[in-house]
A and B are shown apart, each in its own frame.
Chain A
Amino acid sequence: EIVMTQTPLSLPVTPGQPASISCKSSQSLLHTDRKTYLYWYVQKSGHPPQLLMYEVSNRMSGVPDKFSGSGSGTDFTLKISRVEAEDVGVYYCMQSIQLPPTFGQGTKVEI
């Protein structure tokens, strides 16, 4: 199965400052259909994960544009341009180019 590795695992942030999370996959996530099957989620305490970004850089409806995703092949990044208190949570990357879908370990963003 494809292994997803996130860094850092803990990310203390200052409100108003940017934040960046890295995700690396053990195999390329670029499909022959030219889509890259990399997703980002955030899980806030006591809630299920929420899909933030799909196919690397596409924001889900309602996700503010302070969130951006980038990368290709096996290396990906989620950036928050200006962190706010409401952004606290655990962020996960996930791949679904190959079954089973697999998740990163999670990055805990805290203020």
Chain B
Amino acid sequence: QVQLQQWGAGLLKPSETLSLTCVVYGGSFSDYYWSWIRQPPGKRLEWIGEINHSGGTNYNPSLKSRVTVSVDTSKRQFSLNLRSVTAADTAVYYCGRRYGGFDSWGQGTPVTVSS
């Protein structure tokens, strides 16, 4: 049974960098894409980007200029960096496992951007 556990800072000031990490317990690490998804208050879920075990990445074009997703296969971890945050980046951020759909999710990290 796979479990995803995520962590990272929950309060940021405008222009700072959001950094989150997700560790994967159980299951295969190499057969999936490992994604970040966010949910702004009152808005629909938004996919941010993903990475596979060999470091191949895909990003949402709307965020691509500010996003980096990285992986540490030895630790079964993957990370999100989102640069130059603004209030519009306030959301609950989730890590997830994707094989078509997202079948496993982290617990979510609320992130607030405020001066």
B106 at the interface (CB under 8 A from A): yes
Distance from B107 Cβ to chain A, minimum over Cβ atoms (Å): 7
For the complex, give the distance between the alpha carbons of A39 and B60 in Å.
19
Q: How large is the interface on B (under 10, 10 to 19, 20 to 34, 35 or more residues)?
A: 10 to 19
Most buried by B among A49, A55, A99, A100: A100
Residue interface bits A49-60, CB-to-B below 8 A is 1, else 0:
111001100001
Interface string of B40-58 (1 = CB under 8 A from A): 0000111100000000001
Q: Spell out B's residues near A (CB within 8 Å).
A: 44-47, 58, 60-62, 94, 96, 98, 100-103, 105-108
Which residues of A line the B interface, CB within 8 A? 1, 37, 39, 41, 48-51, 54-55, 60, 92, 94, 96, 99-106
